[in-house]
């Protein structure tokens, strides 16, 4: 249970409530959502199981685990580079994740002080653009968020975290249901549902398929060794399949709820689904601003969202911190301050992407867009590909069946997915979208 809570805490975060709706909106909804769900089940699930079983067998940080198992299974110590790529991915992701998490912190204060009470769509939109347009303001909230994250990780985490996640996820769920109720009453619920679930495959490009795959990896926290790092603490007798299924279900459920709450509001207020990273901040405060008790609910909502982001930030730092501690024999506090400081500095690239450097675009867009694209759409899928190849082909059948329990059908299904479907699927999408 503690393990499921820790992994759920890392999986449920900005990816579900901030990122899923805006990426789905940018990619036209319908077909994107179906591809995303297929990726979660056919690729996300086997990758998560592979990561956990590797982590539990290695019982070290992801770099050392991949090195050890690479040798133990008669392959090569070079598998450590998969762990290494995960360490880098975690650092890069947190550099922008922390900036967005800073926005949610600011929105606690804005909500509590009644900024959104009865506000119009224009006013809510202006509040958002005024805020992110000010690099000092979002630089400050990024700094506060990183400081909070470094503080917990440095102190050795996890104590108390479990209890907190146990409360946070259900509370978040209740508030999402409240928003859903509001959406259903908005008169535009049907339009929102249609946008999310009516697929138009003609509009689906390889770029959108890759975005769906990348989102599946991002939201489940897989492909970078984070779940592997948690797996290192997993007791022998816990079912990896059961734990993975629980996490995947909770995570996917919250994302879909977020979409169902947000898209009707988009249409009801004449906004556009392809609004980008501001989507959640331009819609949900609007709904809260119009309901009775809105100031209270809005404040609680952003507290919970900040909290969800915080438990994810801890997971994003874990591979890097564990590696520094074990490899360079530093204390946990030293390693955290070092990694946190690096992430804090890198984060200013994303801070500036929303204001001073908003018009400086290349490849995928702003600096923020590029860091996101590189990590979610390239590094995580590539990591997942290598992890499934390792678990499915490099590790011998007995090693994996030891970990997963050779319970006939389930083990065969996992092995089929890990050996063929997941790696081949990822490869096809990467090749078509990138080349």
Output 221 or 241, the one with its CB closest to ligand TRP. Answer: 221
Residues 82-101 that bind ligand TRP (CB under 6 A): 93
Q: Does 14 bind ligand TRP (CB under 6 A)?
A: yes
Question: Which of 13/192 has CB closer to ligand TRP?
Answer: 13
As a whole number of angstroms, the distance between CA 98 and CA 100 comes to: 5
Furthest C-alpha separation in the chain: 65
DSSP state of 394: I
When the beta carbons of 124 and 316 are compared against ligand TRP, the nearer one is 316
Using CB atoms within 10 Å of the CB of residue 187, give its burial: 0 to 12 exposed, 13 to 18 middle, 19+ buried: exposed
DSSP states along 318-381: HHHHHHHHHHH---HHHHHHHHHHHHHHHHHHHHHHTTTTTT--BTTBSHHHHHHIIIIIIIHH
Measured at the alpha carbon of residue 47, what is the angle toward residues 305 and 230, in degrees to the nearest 5?
A: 60
Of positions 244, 269, 283, 312, contacts ligand TRP by CB under 6 A: 312
Query: Is 370 one of the binding residues for ligand TRP (CB under 6 A)?
Result: no
Q: How far is the CB of 344 from ligand TRP (least distance, A)?
A: 17
- Window 205-224: contact mask with ligand TRP (x via CB under 6 A): -------------xx-x--x
Length of the chain: 435
Cα–Cα distance for residue pair 103/14, rounded to 1 Å: 11
Q: Which is nearer to ligand TRP, 226 or 300 (CB)?
A: 226
Q: How far is the CB of 66 from ligand TRP (least distance, A)?
A: 16
Question: Given the complex with ligand TRP, which of 6 and 268 has the nearer CB atom?
Answer: 6
Chosen residue from 23, 226, 389, 395 binding ligand TRP by CB under 6 A: 226
Using the contact rule CB under 6 A, the part of the chain among 11-19, 264-272, 289-297, 400-408 near ligand TRP is: 11-19
- Report how many residues bind ligand TRP under the rule CB under 6 A: 15
Residue 43 or 316: which CB sits closer to ligand TRP? 316
Report in angstroms how near the CB of residue 352 gets to ligand TRP at its nearest: 22
Q: CA-to-CA distance for 430 and 381, rounded, in angstroms?
A: 8
Our finding on whether 322 is near ligand TRP (CB under 6 A) is no
* 8 Å CB contact between 304 and 134: no
Tokens (6 digits) for 228: 């592997």
Q: Does 149 bind ligand TRP (CB under 6 A)?
A: no
Select the residue interacting with ligand TRP from 8, 16, 366, 370 (CB under 6 A).
16
Calpha distance 71→324 (Å, rounded): 21
Give the nearer residue to ligand TRP in terms of CB position, either 92 or 395: 92
Shortest reach from residue 313's CB to ligand TRP, in Å: 7
Q: Which is nearer to ligand TRP, 61 or 219 (CB)?
A: 219
First to last CA, the chain: 43
Task: Pick the closer one to ligand TRP by CB: 10 or 244.
Answer: 10
Buried b (16+ CB within 10 A) or exposed e, 368-400: bbbbbbbbbbbbbbbbbbbbbbbbbebbeeebb
The pair of structure tokens assigned to 100 is: 């967005």
C-alpha 274/C-alpha 278 separation (Å) is 10
Q: Is 49 in the site for ligand TRP (CB under 6 A)?
A: no
Check binding of 10 to ligand TRP (CB under 6 A): yes
Give the binding site for ligand TRP (CB under 6 A): 10-11, 13-16, 93, 218-219, 221, 224, 226, 312, 315-316
């Amino acid at each position: 249970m503690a393990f499921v809570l820790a992994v759920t805490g890392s999986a449920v975060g900005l990816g579900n409530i901030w990122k899923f709706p805006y990426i789905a909106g940018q990619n036209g909804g319908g077909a994107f959502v179906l591809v995303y769900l297929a990726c979660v089940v056919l690729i996300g699930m086997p990758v998560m199981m592979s990561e956990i079983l590797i982590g539990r067998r290695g019982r070290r940080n992801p770099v050392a685990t991949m090195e050890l198992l690479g040798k133990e299974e008669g392959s090569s110590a070079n598998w450590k580079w998969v762990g290494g790529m995960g360490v880098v991915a975690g650092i890069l992701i947190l550099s922008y994740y922390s900036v967005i998490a800073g926005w949610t912190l600011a929105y606690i204060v804005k909500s509590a002080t009644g900024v959104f009470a009865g506000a119009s769509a224009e006013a809510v939109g202006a509040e958002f653009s005024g805020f992110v347009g000010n690099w000092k303001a979002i630089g400050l909230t990024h700094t506060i968020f990183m400081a909070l994250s470094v503080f917990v990780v440095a102190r050795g985490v996890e104590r108390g975290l479990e209890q907190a996640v146990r409360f946070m996820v259900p509370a978040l769920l209740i508030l999402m249901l409240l928003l859903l109720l509001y959406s259903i009453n908005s008169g535009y619920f049907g339009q929102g549902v249609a946008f999310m679930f009516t697929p138009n495959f003609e509009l689906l490009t390889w770029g959108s398929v890759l975005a769906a795959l990348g989102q599946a990896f991002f939201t489940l926290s897989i492909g970078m060794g984070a779940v592997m790092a948690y797996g290192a603490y997993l007791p022998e007798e816990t079912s990896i399949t059961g734990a993975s299924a629980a996490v995947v279900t909770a995570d996917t459920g919250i994302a879909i709820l977020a979409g169902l709450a947000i898209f009707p509001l988009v249409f009801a207020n004449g906004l556009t689904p392809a609004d980008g990273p501001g989507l959640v901040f331009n819609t949900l405060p609007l709904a809260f601003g119009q309901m009775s008790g809105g100031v209270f609910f809005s404040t609680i909502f952003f507290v919970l969202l900040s909290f969800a982001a915080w438990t994810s930030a801890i997971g994003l730092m874990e591979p890097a911190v564990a590696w520094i501690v074990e490899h360079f024999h530093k204390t946990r506090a030293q390693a955290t301050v070092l990694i946190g400081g690096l992430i804090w500095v890198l984060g200013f690239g994303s801070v500036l992407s929303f204001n001073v450097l908003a018009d400086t675009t290349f490849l995928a867009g702003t600096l923020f867009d590029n860091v996101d694209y590189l990590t979610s759409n390239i590094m995580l899928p590539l990591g997942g590909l290598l992890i499934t190849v390792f678990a499915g082909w490099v590790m011998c059948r007995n090693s994996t069946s030891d970990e997963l329990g050779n319970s006939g059908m389930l083990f065969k299904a996992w092995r089929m997915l890990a050996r063929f479907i997941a790696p081949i699927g990822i490869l096809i999408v990467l090749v078509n979208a990138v080349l």
